[in-house]
Amino acid sequence: MKTALPVDARSNTTRRLQARLRGLVGKAIEDYAMIGAGDRVMVCLSGGKDSYTLLDLLMSLQRSAPVKFDLLAVNLDQKQPDFPAQVLPGYLTALGVPFHIIEQDTYRVVKRVIPEGKTMCGLCSRLRRGALYRYAREHGITKLALGHHRDDMIETLFLNMFFGGKLKAMPPKLRSEDGQHIVIRPLAYVAERDIERYARAREFPIIPCNLCGSQEHLQRAAIKQMLADWEKEHPGRLEAIASSLRNVVSSHLADPQAFDFAQLTAVQRE
């Protein structure tokens, strides 16, 4: 089984890419106060390119960070048929990072509850989140790190606008609904295309999610294609959209809960 290449075996291009991604992750962590001294950070590892990249960059930052924090890689084995259960334990053991595999048959639950041909991602996500939160609560985890990146956040913005009627995206840092967990997304400033390049260069042992099949009709797939077309026609548009999420002018939107329009009056001239 392949493990990630050591630093000295990478090309200069890969080292430069890693340095840039490290910088973006470090900036996101600083901008949103994601990690503090003494934190126990649980990296939720799915086996996909995003979570591998997240773990890799956090381990790199951990070695030079001004504050001490612990990392624990956690994977939820959902008992999908043909899931290569040996890949992640082998990879993480070779990497030397503490890890734990949660075994929970969410696959059978999802297949039983969701009719054939319907979207399974929502229920699958809720079950997965519940298992991860429970483990974090029972093991003194202070931060849960997820591998969502810049493009995920933009896609979610448009999904909520087009299908939910809300101006809402994925925050880089949030408190869970029950108030017991802090979730962080250190890849908030990182573009998916750069993660894809980095994952290929590092030769991460990617494990595809086969639970849902391709489901290309999903709303998110349509949004992703729309954004890809925009970026092709107008390079830099996605970065501009991402920047807009950090530059919100509530007085120029229309939510009376976010801005007190009722108290808005003209300035009286002398």
Half-sphere exposure in the Cβ direction for 162 (13 Å, CA):
12
Domain total for the chain?
1
Residue type, 97: V
Query: Does residue 10 have a pLDDT over 70?
Result: no
**Structure pTM?**
0.87
Residue 132 lies in a domain: yes
Q: What is the pLDDT of residues 36-46, one digit of tens each?
A: 999 999 999 98
Does 82 reside within a domain? yes
Instruction: Yes or no: say if 17 and 198 are a contact pair by the CB < 8 Å rule.
Output: yes
pLDDT of residue 215: 47
The answer to whether residue 160 is domain-embedded is yes
Domain that holds residue 194: 7-247
Q: Residue 121 in contact with residue 218, Cβ under 8 Å?
A: yes
Domain membership of residue 34 (yes or no) is yes
Residue 261 lies in a domain: no
Compare 106 and 50 and report the one with higher pLDDT.
50
Cα 126 to Cα 76, 121, 132, 133, distances in angstroms: 13, 9, 10, 10
Q: Which pLDDT score, from 0 to 100, does residue 103 have?
A: 84
Q: Is residue 260 part of a domain?
A: no
Q: pLDDT tens digits, residue range 117-167? A: 666 666 667 778 888 999 999 999 999 999 999 999 999 999 999 999 999
Could you give the percent of the chain with pLDDT greater than 70? Answer: 86
Beta bridge partners of residue 40, listed in sequence order: 70
Residue 89, domain member (yes or no): yes
Mean pLDDT of 182-190: 98
Q: What is the pLDDT of residue 127?
A: 78
Q: Is residue 135 part of a domain?
A: yes
Q: Give the tens place of pLDDT for each residue, 192-228.
A: 999 999 999 999 999 876 655 444 347 888 999 999 9
CATH of the domain at 149: 3.40.50.620
